[in-house]
DNA sequence: TTGGCGGTAAACATTC
DNA sequence: CGAATGTTTACCGCCA
């Protein structure tokens, strides 16, 4: 079989595949890779595909930039549209900030419980511990500095400058303390104090969401930041607990300050960093847009008075977003960028990326990041990924196409070689009993039989922990790992600095943001999009958490899987 | 060496 | 009719 495969392609690896095996795929054109024998054509195709992808993923309306290029004078409608888009962007950024804070809260909570569990070996782990904290605080600090630079903090209505300064100071203290080499206990105390100050000082995220009362309060109320919906929310852990006390026991016994937990925390760090990066991009874009509009304003003197909006936009947007999330503005063509934080914070195994080192050899002629995005393979089995996709959907059910969407959106790796992995997805859906096909009014959806899924895991306890990392082109399979093990696998990979931009899968993209992502990543091959994106529900499925189509005919309405 | 597992490929049938 | 979807089989490499 593989011998025959080698006749068709250089090898049977997805990364190496050419169109031969996929000629039937409509996204076939996107599978061309630098390693392809048709390398000469790959570049041109790639160039061609960027706009195609953009057009696929963005609504069929002109972007403000396009409009401005065509006519420098803005009419009120255009300005209003731009205003709305910018507001949406600001909301999106706010969302990111909120989620960053949540990430930190979760991380802090993990550290706190580790403090209890940790009785010995503190000195050995101190350096490791401090490194993680330092990373976290650096992210936070960078984020806040960025906010301050952008003037975002100052425009928050209930955030006094002193509070913002205190917030910044808290971060700086944390950082400096870390660099000062204090012991973990002190660090945790400082971290906690910093966090409390943050909360009391109305961190931006808190302005939007006051419902979180912090780990300490939670703790006294039989709640815990890492405990929600009867499940342990530790990154990669999906243990179910009906009893909070049992959960606490589990927390103290399973998630201790060991290598695994450290690696998992590192994963969380990477997620936060990615969010920061995305936020930075968004801000740069916003700045560019605003400066451009300002220049336009100066050029077009007879312009309408509304062109003064850049001066008031930030405060207006933020204050509105903070106080009136449902402000009756015409939303962008897609759904609101604001999503429940858990959609971003629930770091699932399926969001870990795995870089097969052998694939890096193809990065000669392309931007390294892009290549990594393209080549990085998720360190999870198809079954695990499918399950994750379904699990993340609001209704815990997805059509095949929605599963495809999740794959392509979540992992750049799956934005090409569609014939291969789609076939694998279908194969796995049919093969594994844990995937149940359910006939629906609108067709069939796939669900997960969790019992069955769990049942098949501990087949070989001894060998379960070993991760296969083949060197052959053929095999990429990992053992059917538990989420934790897959998490570890990914964490190890993170350690190699091969993490790729996973921001897009973590929250639905605002059209502008999505466009940018696709532009910058040379977002290629979103297969179904080629032909189906323009269909009505395709668009929605692309932005509303896969299964979140409002047209879902059955099951719970308005079910928001909060955590 | 063997069996289990996951990935890949492909043929085929059914549905859209 | 073609594409999408779903099922099944075969084979490979890896691992215990």
Give residue A326's pLDDT: 27
Give residue A280's pLDDT: 75
Backbone angles phi, psi at A342, to 5 degrees: -60, -25
* Confidence label for A271 from pLDDT (cuts 50, 70 and 90): low
The number of C-alpha atoms within 13 Å of A266 and in the hemisphere containing its C-beta is 25
DSSP state of A256: -
A441 contact to strand B (CB, 7 A limit): no
Which CA distances in Å does A536 have to A252, A337, A440, A554? 48, 18, 18, 19
- Partners of A435 in the beta sheet? A448
A252 contact to strand B (CB, 7 A limit): no
CA of A400 to C1' of C4 (A): 10
Query: pLDDT digits over A56-67, tens only?
Result: 333 333 233 333
Residue A411 has pLDDT above 60, yes or no: yes
Backbone angles phi, psi at A151, to 5 degrees: 75, 15
Segment among A282-296, A426-440, A466-480 with least mean pLDDT: A466-480
The number of C-alpha atoms within 13 Å of A361 and in the hemisphere containing its C-beta is 8
Residue A329 has pLDDT above 70, yes or no: no
CA–chain centroid gap for A561, Å, is: 17
Give residue A269's pLDDT: 61
Give residue A429's pLDDT: 93
A1 contact to strand B (CB, 7 A limit): yes
Is position A171 within any domain? yes
Percent of chain A with pLDDT over 70: 22
Structural domain containing residue A33: 2-54+340-345+352-543
Q: Which residues contact A318 (CB under 8 A, 6 or more apart)?
A: A90, A94, A152, A155, A156
CA of A467 to C1' of C8 (A): 28
Query: pLDDT digits over A342-380, tens only?
Result: 222 233 333 233 333 333 323 223 334 334 444 577 778
A7 contact to strand B (CB, 7 A limit): no
Tokens of A542: 């692309």
* Confidence label for A52 from pLDDT (cuts 50, 70 and 90): very low
CA of A387 to C1' of B10 (A): 25
Name the protein residue, with chain letter, whose CA is nearest the C1' of C16.
A463
CA of A561 to C1' of C7 (A): 33
Residue A90 has pLDDT above 50, yes or no: yes
A459 contact to strand B (CB, 7 A limit): yes
Whole-angstrom distance, CA of residue A407 vs CA of residue A386:
8
CA of A542 to C1' of B16 (A): 21
Whole-angstrom distance, CA of residue A138 vs CA of residue A421:
38
Is position A284 within any domain? no
Give the DSSP H or E segment for A200: helix A184-200
* Confidence label for A424 from pLDDT (cuts 50, 70 and 90): very high
Is position A89 within any domain? yes
Q: Closest nucleotide (CA of A384 to C1')?
A: B6
A9 contact to strand B (CB, 7 A limit): yes
Q: Are residues A100 and A25 in the same domain?
A: no
Tokens of A291: 């400066």
Give the position of tokens 């990477």: A270
- Partners of A227 in the beta sheet? A224, A232
Q: Are residues A133 and A27 in the same domain?
A: no
Query: pLDDT digits over A524-534, tens only?
Result: 333 333 333 33
Give residue A425's pLDDT: 93
Q: What is the 3-state secondary structure (H, E, C) of A525-538?
A: CCHHHHHHCCCHHH
Q: Are residues A121 and A30 in the same domain?
A: no
Q: Are residues A96 and A43 in the same domain?
A: no
The mean pLDDT of A387-403, rounded to a whole number, is: 89
- A149 versus A265: the higher-pLDDT residue is A265
A99 contact to strand B (CB, 7 A limit): no
A371 contact to strand B (CB, 7 A limit): no
Is position A296 within any domain? no
Catalogue the E-assigned strands of A197-310. 227-228, 231-232
Rg, Å, chain A Cα set: 24
Count the Cβ atoms, other than its own, within 10 Å of residue A330: 12
CA of A451 to C1' of B4 (A): 20
Angle at A222 between CA A202 and CA A121, to 5 degrees: 85
Q: Are residues A39 and A178 in the same domain?
A: no
Q: Are residues A418 and A501 in the same domain?
A: yes
CA of A208 to C1' of C13 (A): 52
CA of A428 to C1' of C9 (A): 14
Q: Are residues A266 and A391 in the same domain?
A: no
Contact A269, A132 (CB under 8 A): yes
Percent of chain A with pLDDT over 90: 3
- A82 versus A450: the higher-pLDDT residue is A450
Residue A158 has pLDDT above 50, yes or no: no
CA of A325 to C1' of C15 (A): 53
Residue A185 has pLDDT above 50, yes or no: no
Q: How many domains does chain A have?
A: 2
- A512 versus A421: the higher-pLDDT residue is A421
* Confidence label for A301 from pLDDT (cuts 50, 70 and 90): very low
Question: Among the three residues A249, A274, A299, which one is the final residue of a domain in this structure?
Answer: A274
Query: pLDDT digits over A198-255, tens only?
Result: 333 333 333 233 333 333 344 456 778 788 767 677 766 656 677 888 878 878 877 7
Q: Are residues A193 and A127 in the same domain?
A: yes
Among A69-73, A154-158, A285-289, the range of highest mean pLDDT: A285-289
Strand C bases within 7 angstroms of protein beta carbons: 3-16
Whole-angstrom distance, CA of residue A307 vs CA of residue A311:
9
Which one, of A476, A475, A474, lies nearest residue A5 by Cα? A474
The mean pLDDT of A258-264, rounded to a whole number, is: 60
Q: Are residues A23 and A144 in the same domain?
A: no
Segment among A58-72, A288-302, A333-347 with least mean pLDDT: A333-347
H runs (alpha helix) in A376-510: 382-392, 400-410, 418-431, 450-455, 461-464, 483-495, 503-506
* Confidence label for A8 from pLDDT (cuts 50, 70 and 90): very low
Name the protein residue, with chain letter, whose CA is nearest the C1' of C11.
A1
Tokens of A445: 């959806």
Give residue A98's pLDDT: 54
| Average predicted confidence (pLDDT) for chain A | 48
Q: Are residues A139 and A187 in the same domain?
A: yes
Residue A447 has pLDDT above 80, yes or no: yes
């Amino acid at each position: 079989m593989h011998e025959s495969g080698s006749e068709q392609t250089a090898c049977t690896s997805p990364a190496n595949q050419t169109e031969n095996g996929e000629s039937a795929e409509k996204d076939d054109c996107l599978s061309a890779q630098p390693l392809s024998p048709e390398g000469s054509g790959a570049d041109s195709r790639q160039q061609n595909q960027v706009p195609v992808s953009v057009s696929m993923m963005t609504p069929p309306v002109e972007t403000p930039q396009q409009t401005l290029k065509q006519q420098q004078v803005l009419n009120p409608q255009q300005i209003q549209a731009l205003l709305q888009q910018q507001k949406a962007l600001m909301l999106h950024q706010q969302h990111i900030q909120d989620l960053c804070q949540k990430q930190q809260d979760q991380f802090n909570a993990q550290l706190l419980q580790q403090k209890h569990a940790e009785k010995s070996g503190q000195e050995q782990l101190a350096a490791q511990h401090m490194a993680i904290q330092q990373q976290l605080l650096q992210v936070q600090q960078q984020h806040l500095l960025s906010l301050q630079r952008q003037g975002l903090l100052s425009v928050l209505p209930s955030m006094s400058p002193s509070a913002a300064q205190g917030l910044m100071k808290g971060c700086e203290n944390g950082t400096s303390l870390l660099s000062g080499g204090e012991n973990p206990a002190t660090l945790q105390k400082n971290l906690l104090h910093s966090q409390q100050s943050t909360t009391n000082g109305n961190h931006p995220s808190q302005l939007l969401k006051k419902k979180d009362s912090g780990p300490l309060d939670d703790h006294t109320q039989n709640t815990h930041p890492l405990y929600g919906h009867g499940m342990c929310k530790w990154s990669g852990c999906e243990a179910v607990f009906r009893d909070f006390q049992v959960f606490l026991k589990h927390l103290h016994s399973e998630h201790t300050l060991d290598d695994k937990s450290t690696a998992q925390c590192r994963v969380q760090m990477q997620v936060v960093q990615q969010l920061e990066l995305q936020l930075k991009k968004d801000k740069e874009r916003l700045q560019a847009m605003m400066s451009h509009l300002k220049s336009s304003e100066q050029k077009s003197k007879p312009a309408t008075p509304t062109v003064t909006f850049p001066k008031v936009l930030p405060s207006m947007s933020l204050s509105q977003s903070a106080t009136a999330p449902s402000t009756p503005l015409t939303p962008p063509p897609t759904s609101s960028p604001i999503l429940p934080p858990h959609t971003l914070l629930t770091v699932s195994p399926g969001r870990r990326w795995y870089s097969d080192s052998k694939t890096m050899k193809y990065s000669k002629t392309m931007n390294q990041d892009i290549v990594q995005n393209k080549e990085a393979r998720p360190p999870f089995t198809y079954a695990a990924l499918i399950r994750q996709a379904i699990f993340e959907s609001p209704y815990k059910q997805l059509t095949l196409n929605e599963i495809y969407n999740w794959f392509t959106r979540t992992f750049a790796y799956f934005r090409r070689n569609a014939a291969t992995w789609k076939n694998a997805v279908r194969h796995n859906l049919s093969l594994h009993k844990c995937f149940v096909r359910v006939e629906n009014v609108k067709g069939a959806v796939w669900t997960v039989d969790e019992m069955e899924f769990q049942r098949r895991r501990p087949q070989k306890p001894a060998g379960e922990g070993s991760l296969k990392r083949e060197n052959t082109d053929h095999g990429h399979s990992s053992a059917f790992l538990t989420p934790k093990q897959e998490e570890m696998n990914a964490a190890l990979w993170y350690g190699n600095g091969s993490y790729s931009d996973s921001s897009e899968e973590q929250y639905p993209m605002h059209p502008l943001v999505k466009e940018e992502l696709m532009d910058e990543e040379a977002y290629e091959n979103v297969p179904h999009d080629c032909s189906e994106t323009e269909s009505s529900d395709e668009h929605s499925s692309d932005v509303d958490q896969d299964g979140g189509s409002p047209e879902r005919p059955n099951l719970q309405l308005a079910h928001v899987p909060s955590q």
